[in-house]
Amino acid sequence: MINTRKNIDLILLIIWMVFIFIMSNQPANISDSESGGVIKLLSMIGIDMNNIFGQLANFIVRKCAHFTEYMILALLIFNVLKSHFNMKQVIILTIIGVFFYACSDEIHQLFVLGREGAFRDVLIDTCGGTSLILIQLIKIKILNRYKSIS
């Protein structure tokens, strides 16, 4: 069962990395239209991004997508590493993994029509991954406190 779980964690990580690659491989016009679709969806549920942020709405949606993609990537890396390393090593390796994958993603975008690589996006991506680590640490602390009480 444990090996099955490890394999599933690794497969999910690889699938997510491929997903990020595919999303980054889209030309700018397709990527922009997808961001526009998210803005329309949010508008349908009562959150009018265009009214709130104006022309910045598309930019904000795109950066939130970066943050979220890499938050999920960090979770998947964390899950793969936690059975092989101690917690400090898992944290460091997860953040390093997120950072280097974000760097490779931005380099990849330099070769995609209408896209550009931006170090700003690497920082946003790494912040997404680091946020996940902080959430995991809080979760672990709460669970340990709960275990010590019961």
What pLDDT is stored for residue 77 in this prediction?
A: 98
Cβ within 8 Å of residue 50, ≥6 positions away = 39, 43, 57
With CA atoms as reference, report the closest residue to 113 among 22, 28, 33, 56: 28
Give start and end residues of each alpha helix (H) in 25-118. Answer: 28-44, 49-53, 56-81, 87-109
What pLDDT is stored for residue 141 in this prediction?
A: 92
* Parts of the chain with a pLDDT under 70: 1, 150
Structure tokens at 18: 């491929």
Contact 125, 64 (CB under 8 A): no
For 70-107, write each residue's pLDDT tens digit: 999 999 999 999 999 999 999 999 999 999 999 999 99
Whole-model pTM? 0.90
What pLDDT is stored for residue 150 in this prediction?
A: 67
Contact 99, 53 (CB under 8 A): no
What pLDDT is stored for residue 1 in this prediction?
A: 60
What pLDDT is stored for residue 78 in this prediction?
A: 98
What pLDDT is stored for residue 37 in this prediction?
A: 87
